[in-house]
DNA sequence: CTGATTGAGTGTACGATATACACAGTTTCC
DNA sequence: GGAAACTGTGTATATCGTACACTCAATCAG
């Protein structure tokens, strides 16, 4: 069945009751309260697409839809990601998508997980946890910057899909064999993950700006405009002092050298901070007590 | 002029050219490309409300609108925050708001800054940078959790308002007198800020869930459902091992004790990680070179 | 004092978007 | 050879943000 074809219309059978869309049942649809919604999103995200045997073959599958949607988001950001845009990129009507995803949110959930992709293959395990974690952190940051539209989504409340778990698994793998308790491993994960996410906003903002074709100078001007207002304002004495001092500006990547000395780029700052975080974890690893149950 | 009153209608003067809404000019409205949009948002956010002398007095001001909007967001989350909802909470028509804000985005920008509020007053400066920074971090996290709808917004690309700068100023103030370069101070800020933001997502998610009246158990079930799928999946061996080990679960705050040993709450994990980050910074402070220009 | 001017809040209209619903045509099973 | 199940379509609807034209009030210039 090729898209946009049949036009004939004739009265047919009587109205059927609502057909079960998008298969997979969403088992406890009428589950308790509002919290069930999140569980249903998670369930859908993990459910494999059940290929029923009866009717006509679906012309596409969820991955096709997700790919099309990601293409749009990559090209024009989240605002451009409408059901209509996705559908017509695939050559279908808007409503056809609802055979594959119960709603837009579910599609976006799938896009988010797909966009994360798989984490980098683990390095040789002999190189030590620190280099492995560093590698992971760099990769994660690069991933976030390469899909700036991820940061246009709400910060919380998306269900965690397979790839999300893979990234976590990858980091935990770096920590195996250090004699850490399960709790410590999760906490260390949380520290690294938290730092990487939380401190990438500037870089993502720049990446997003670039993806939209805005020159670096213009981005720096826009971001700098905010900070610049601090200068001279009595509410921000320290910030003023810093911004008016040498190299107070924002270097986007070497292209905008700060006023003096070594121009520190956004990436430099990230790397610097990462080393501080790793230092903190290293110190813990040296001094912790080890008389617990550990993950070997 | 009381809201929702006059109904009379009569033909009057000829159509006027578009009146300048929301004052303040947004000076370079036709500035260069797409990057100008961000600058305009920032400009509006910082512009004081110009009280013109001519026409009828405004019945409210921006702060009234912001307060109403925050009330709605606090109560029912961002989805409930529609222009109509805000306006009718104030007893006005939807369009009246556009006399105060050029669009919804500008209103939300203002809400975000207002929601951040001012940072806590600095502690006595004699207590040392570490306790001061810790205090700041706890306060910031508490702020984020008390306004969970902040995390429903996109992660990047909001302009930075006065309160945002105040939080940054407050942290920088903790670092004065340590002999740091301006770059180092900004980088340390970025580390702490990044960690606090990035690692608060779980806590915010819980806070959000609570704000919507969902019992902790249900939230934990929803979040745990994602993680639970890792168990037994060969893609996630380490995660599986951790989750099946003692106290692998999520403790929401003491109310959901993990299976064994000391139940580690979400907050515990945050505090633990914060100390690691502070350790890392402390180590830097001890070993850094000091032959630079510094902020006294 | 009087008329002109500026600006406030209103009502209506419109466009974009997600999505509910009924249907038409197709494939497979009994 | 139906009947059943299912796919994609077309249409309709509700919700929002917001443009536009208008009415009326407050102020200023003469």
What pLDDT, on the 0 to 100 scale, is given for residue A26? Answer: 39
Query: Reduced to 3 states, what is the DSSP secondary structure of residue B262?
Result: coil
Name the band, by pLDDT with cuts 50, 70 and 90, for residue B10.
Answer: very low
Whole-structure pTM value: 0.87
- Determine contact, residues A268/B218, Cβ cutoff 8 Å: no
Residues A189, A172: Cα–Cα separation, whole Å: 7
What pLDDT, on the 0 to 100 scale, is given for residue B26? Answer: 40
Helices (H), chain B: 36-46, 62-76, 83-90, 104-116, 129-146, 162-174, 182-198, 201-211, 216-228, 237-244, 266-287
Residues B6, A162: Cα–Cα separation, whole Å: 59
Which residues, in sequence order, are CB contacts of A118 under 8 Å at separation 6+? Answer: A163, A166
Question: Model confidence over A47-94: pLDDT tens digits?
Answer: 998 877 888 999 999 999 999 999 999 999 999 999 999 999 999 999
CA of A97: nucleotide with nearest C1': D8
DSSP code of residue A124: P
Question: Model confidence over A193-213: pLDDT tens digits?
Answer: 999 999 999 999 999 989 888
Among B33, B168, B279, select the one facing A280 at the smallest CB separation. B279
Residues A232, B111: Cα–Cα separation, whole Å: 25
Among A176, A219, A276, select the one facing B191 at the smallest CB separation. A276
**Strand segments (E) across chain A:** none
Yes or no, beta carbons of B34 and A221 under 8 Å apart:
no
Which residues, in sequence order, are CB contacts of B69 under 8 Å at separation 6+? Answer: B81, B86, B107, B108, B111
Residues B232, B227: Cα–Cα separation, whole Å: 11
The four Cα atoms A214, A79, B103, B15 give a dihedral, to 10 degrees, of 90
Residues B96, B83: Cα–Cα separation, whole Å: 10
Residues A286, A279: Cα–Cα separation, whole Å: 11
Distance from A190 to chain B by nearest Cα, in Å?
A: 6
- Looking from the CA of B81 toward its CB, the CA atoms found within 13 Å total 24
Within 10 angstroms of residue A163's Cβ, the number of other Cβ atoms is 18
Of chain B residues 246-285, which have a CB less than 8 A from chain A? Answer: 246-248, 264, 269-270, 272-273, 275-281, 283-284
Task: Give the C-alpha distances (Å, rounded to integers) separating B81 from A178, B130, B141, B153, B272.
Answer: 48, 39, 23, 12, 36
Within 10 angstroms of residue A293's Cβ, the number of other Cβ atoms is 13
What pLDDT, on the 0 to 100 scale, is given for residue B291? Answer: 52
- Determine contact, residues B90/B60, Cβ cutoff 8 Å: yes
Q: Which residues of A touch B214 (CB under 8 A)?
A: 33-35
Question: Model confidence over B170-222: pLDDT tens digits?
Answer: 999 999 999 999 999 999 999 999 999 999 999 999 999 898 888 998 888 88
Model confidence at B103: pLDDT above 70 = yes
Question: Model confidence over B41-63: pLDDT tens digits?
Answer: 999 999 998 877 788 889 999 99
CA nearest to A220 within chain B: B35
Yes or no, beta carbons of B235 and A283 under 8 Å apart:
no
Yes or no, beta carbons of B154 and A154 under 8 Å apart:
yes
Question: Taking residues A10-36, what's their average pLDDT?
Answer: 44
- Determine contact, residues B44/B131, Cβ cutoff 8 Å: no
What pLDDT, on the 0 to 100 scale, is given for residue A291? Answer: 52
CA nearest to A195 within chain B: B195
User: Which nucleotides of strand C come closer than 7 angstroms to any CB of the protein?
Assistant: 5-12, 16-29
User: Mean pLDDT score of chain B, rounded to an integer?
Assistant: 84
Q: CB contacts < 8 Å between A and B, how many?
A: 285
User: Residue B22 belongs to what H/E stretch?
Assistant: none
- Determine contact, residues A274/A197, Cβ cutoff 8 Å: no
């Amino acid at each position: 069945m090729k898209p946009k074809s049949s036009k004939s219309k004739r009265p047919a059978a009587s109205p059927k009751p609502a057909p079960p869309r998008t298969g997979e049942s969403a088992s406890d649809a009428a589950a308790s309260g509002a919290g069930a919604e999140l569980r249903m999103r998670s369930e859908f995200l993990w459910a494999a697409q059940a290929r029923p045997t009866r009717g006509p073959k679906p012309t596409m599958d969820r991955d096709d839809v997700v790919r099309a949607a990601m293409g749009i988001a990559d090209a024009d950001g989240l605002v451009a990601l409408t059901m209509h845009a996705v559908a017509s990129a695939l050559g279908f009507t808007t409503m056809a998508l609802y055979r594959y995803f119960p709603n837009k949110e579910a599609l976006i959930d799938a896009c988010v997980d797909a966009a994360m992709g798989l984490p980098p293959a683990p390095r040789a395990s002999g190189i030590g946890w620190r280099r492995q974690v560093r590698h992971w952190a760099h990769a994660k940051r690069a991933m976030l910057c390469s899909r700036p539209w991820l940061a246009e989504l709400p910060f919380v409340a998306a269900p965690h899909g397979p790839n999300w778990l893979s990234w976590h698994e990858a980091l935990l793998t770096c920590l195996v064999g250090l004699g850490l308790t399960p709790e410590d491993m999760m906490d260390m994960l949380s520290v690294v993950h938290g730092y990487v996410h939380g401190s990438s906003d500037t870089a993502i903002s720049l990446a997003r700006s670039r993806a939209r074709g805005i020159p670096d100078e213009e981005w720096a001007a826009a971001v700098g405009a905010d900070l610049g207002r601090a200068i001279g304002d009595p509410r921000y004495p320290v910030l003023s002092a810093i911004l008016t001092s040498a190299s107070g500006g924002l270097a986007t990547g070497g292209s905008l050298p700060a006023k003096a000395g070594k121009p520190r780029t956004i990436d430099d700052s990230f790397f610097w901070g990462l080393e501080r975080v790793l230092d903190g974890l290293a110190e813990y690893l040296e001094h912790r007590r080890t008389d617990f149950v550990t993950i070997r």
